[in-house]
Every structure is written in structure tokens, then in C-alpha cells.
Structure 1
Amino acid sequence: MLGVGIDVGKFFLDLARHDQAKVTRFTNDADGIAQLIQSLTAWDPGWVLLEATGGYEAPLLHALLQTGWPITRINPRQARNFARASGQLAKTDVIDARGLADMAQCMYPRLARFVPPDAWQSTLAAFVTRRTQVVTAIKQQSQQIAHIALPELMAMAQASLQALRAERDRLDQRIAQLCAPHITPAWRSIKGLGPVVQASLMSLLPELGRLTRQQVAKLVGVAPLNRDSGTLKGKRSIFGGRAAVRRVLYMATLVAVRWDHSLKAFYQGLKARGKPFKVALVAAMRKFVVTLNARLRDEQAGPVVNV
């Protein structure tokens, strides 16, 4: 098994294999990616590991998927933790590429193979991301207008705000069109699953319906993690996961614990036993996403009943 690591940057790709010190650099463009694939073909890698870099890895990832090699895209925090555990405290592109190659070689039995989302999910994710940007800009512009005194500047700011709101409305319409063919009964089975939540979960958590309850809770970052050692029983807490999904799920759960009978009873039961607000709400978030995951997974077996 040959472990290969690729450090991805905006302009360059650094390729390393675990059994060699040499690291080869390619440009992060079509020509550089083609040359990198050619080098990898000669090696016949057993596992390829790279980091998520905010989209700079997307063209390379798409090209690698065409080869059929096992590929994993990991969170940069995981790669950095592995490097520190290996005694490597310094950080450069070359060091990172070597560390990824070593991690691929050592950890491949436990690495999750990357499964690309469907084309419609990728398109939906782009629209959801843009909507988030526009909503943030609307909030900022609304706050700024309150401090504008000059009428001329006020008119310009109001025109800008109106344009942003119009763009948000167009995005909402397009997002609804993209989601409509995929809204099954399971997606309407919990109060709080409105159009924005549905679109966000479909695009940002495409694994829904294919995971166990433990896996989906950890992936979102709402699983209570143990902190025990010897006789010490530490306080359980959540850590990691997909922050964007967790933000959407938080707002959806605030609605669900008021209007969804099952989640309301669960949440109020925790509060009655003295659990703090945030602890009870995170537990309700976990139940929310676990329930939705199970209903999507079991939907083919029978009808989903609204509760």
C-alpha cells in the first residue's frame, strides 16, 4: 500500500509519497493537475490524502475521482494534529505534504473514502452559500444605515439594501426550484424543517440517510464526547463537526422544541430534570438530526408519519 499526500494551495500542489523524502511541486491549474495525475499513475497509489482548502482543491479532487483511486479529503485540523503527534511542530508546504503522505500510509484503514455529492447538490450548495453571503450583507447594510445622516448617502445605501433584498428573493426562488424534486415526506416530517433548513441540510450534509445515529451526530458535531481517565469522569462536551450545519440546525431546533410534539416533550423532559438550556437544546439538536437521518434512511421501507 502506497500512501500519497498532496498539499493544496491557491497556486501550487505539492505531491509526496510516504517512502520518499522528495516532494514534487505542480501548478494548481489544468496543466499542473494533468502532470500530477501522470506522476501518480506511474506510482499506482494505494491511498491519496489531501486537505479541504476552501475550494482550491476542487479541480484536483474532480480529476482524482476519475482515476478510481481511494481518496480522502480531511479537515486541516486533523492533519495538523497528526503532524504534532508525529513530533513535527514546524509547518511548510513540503512538511505538510509529507505529513499527509505519512497519515495516508498509517491511517488508511480508518479514513473515510470521499464520495462526491450529486451534481444538483453541488449546485444547491453554491446557491445556499451565496444566500448566506447576501443575508450577512443585508444585516451589515441595515446596521450601517442607522448611522447615516446625509440624505444623499442614505438614498444610495437604501438602493443598495433594496438590491440585496431583491437578490435574496431571487436566490430563494432558485433554491426552492432545486429542492422541489427532492422533498420527500421525510423532509416534511419535523416542525422546523422549513425551506432554508431543507436546502442547507441537503447541500451541506449530503450524507443524511446513509449514516448510523452515532456517525451523523459526530459529523454534525452534536455528539457528547467522553473525557474520562482512570477514576476521573470528566464532563461530556461536543467538539468539531460541521459548524455551518450546526448553526442551521440550532435555529431549526429552536422552532421544533416549540411546535414538534416529540421534540418538545424530549426537550421539556430534560429541562424538568434540571438540565441547563444549552445542554437540553444540544440534546434536542442531536435528536432532531438523528431522527431525520433515520426517516430518510427508512423512507423506502414505508411511509413517514408526521408527528
Structure 2
Amino acid sequence: MPRVRANGLELEYDTFGDPANPPLVLVMGLGAQMITWETGFCELLASHGFHVVRFDNRDVGLSSYLDELGVPEVAAVASGQVAAPYLLADLADDAVGLFDALGFAKAHVVGASMGGMIVQQLAIDHPERLLSVTSIMSTTGDPSVGRPSPAALAALTRQPAATREESIEQSVAAYRMTGSPGYPATDESLREKAARGYDRALHPEGTFRQMAAVLASGDRTERLRDVRLPFAVVHGDADPLVNVSGGKATAAAVPDAELVLLPGMGHDLPEPLWPEIVETIVRTTARA
């Protein structure tokens, strides 16, 4: 896959569809590689007339790791005793660097989970570079909304496994904890997905730095009130990792945002819901 130099980092990316079409950039979540945007989902978006780009955020996948910054104590960052190595604003700047490297004056953006937080930050910091925003299964940074269930939080903050097989089983257990109860995946498909991610790249230290960025970046609610872009919020009503209150709060903060609540959807992108999610994205881009 290709790689660009952006914001002082190397970012791994790939594309779908005709480069002459309007660019649509997909931003993934905490510790999640770009392949979490499934190929079929990207191809479905591209079939609607977009040049689709997915990429690895800093500190994950095949993009640059910032190990020289150390691994922060997440609890100390949350309490304000220790500064985070970087913030969501820096991750948003990475995306703008990607735009520059690929020659995009403006782009549609879609973010999932932490990626939703990043595209919200993009709308705050770089609105002139965006055509539309879709925030999926995300939240505003207000600690009173979008809170995870205790079990989902435990799955998120578990210690890294020691072996490939342990890592795969750990990932399957996490998927089971946070996935969509209305659209359960098979154990075989979950193991295949976990193995693919493990074999491509595993970097848990980067996940902790990304987590620190989320915790240290604060509440975006008031700044979201100034966003004047076509904006949609998609959230599952059964999300245990980012409670649906986070999505509702995001839509309430952004003027004229569309809120789409999907019954039975948890903290993943189940294939049966791809058409409805893509339809929402297409509808939002049409408002640009």
C-alpha cells in the first residue's frame, strides 16, 4: 500500500474508486487499523461516486509510531497530573497533512469512534478543508455522556496478550463484548479479522498514547455549536463502549445535524447495516 509524508509523519493509506471523483476520507478509531474499514464497505462508498481514502492514524498499523514519547499512565492523564503526548487536534492535523499530500483542497470526512472525535476536531479547527462530516459511534468529549459500560471499559483497557493466539482470543472476546447484539458475527469471522489485524501490525503502546489524547482533549460541545457544515451522526442504540447518549449529544451540539439511530447496532459496523450507513453518508455529502 502507498504511504505519504504528512505533518512530519509517514501515513499508510489506500484508495478506492476514481481519483477524479470527490474525495471521501475515512478516519478510524482507537487502536484500530484502517483495514477495520472493510474493503466491501469502501467499495460500496466508491460505487456512489467517491474517491475513498482510508489510512492508518499515527501510532497504529503501518503509519509512524511515536515510541520516543513513552507510554503515558492513562489514569494520571485523566486526572490532569500528566500531559498527554499529543492531542486529538494533532491527529486532525495529520488528516489535513494527508489532504495536502494527496492534493485535496477539500474532502468529505467520515470518522468512527475516536475517528468521529477526530473529524469533529477537523470541523472545529479546519472547516475550510471540509465538504461534509459524518460522525459514527462517537461522542463530544463531555464526560457525562457516551460513557462505556464497566465490562466494555475492561475490554478496552486490558493488558496486551503475550502470544498471537492469546491476542486473537482476546480480540474475539472484546468483539463479543462490544459488537452489535442485533447482528452477531460468527466466531470464524471474528478470528479471521483478529488474525488479519495481528499479522499486519500490532502496537499496543500506540493505543495507550491515543487513549491519552482522547482523555486530555476535553469537551468539544461548545465549539461544535459553531460548526456550519453538512453534518450527520450515526449511532447504535446498543453501543456498550460509547453509549448512545454520546451520539445524541453530538447531534444536539452541531446546528442542523442529522441524527440516525440504528437499532441493534453496537460498537462496530455490521455488514447488514452498510447500505443504511452509506445512504446516510451519501445524503450528507449531497448537502455540501
Richer in strand (by share): 2
Which TM-score band (shorter chain)? under 0.3
Give the TM-score normalised by the residue count of structure 1: 0.24
- Name the larger-Rg structure: 1
Structure 1 or 2: more helix by fraction: 1
* Bigger relative contact order (CA 8 A; separation at least 6): 2
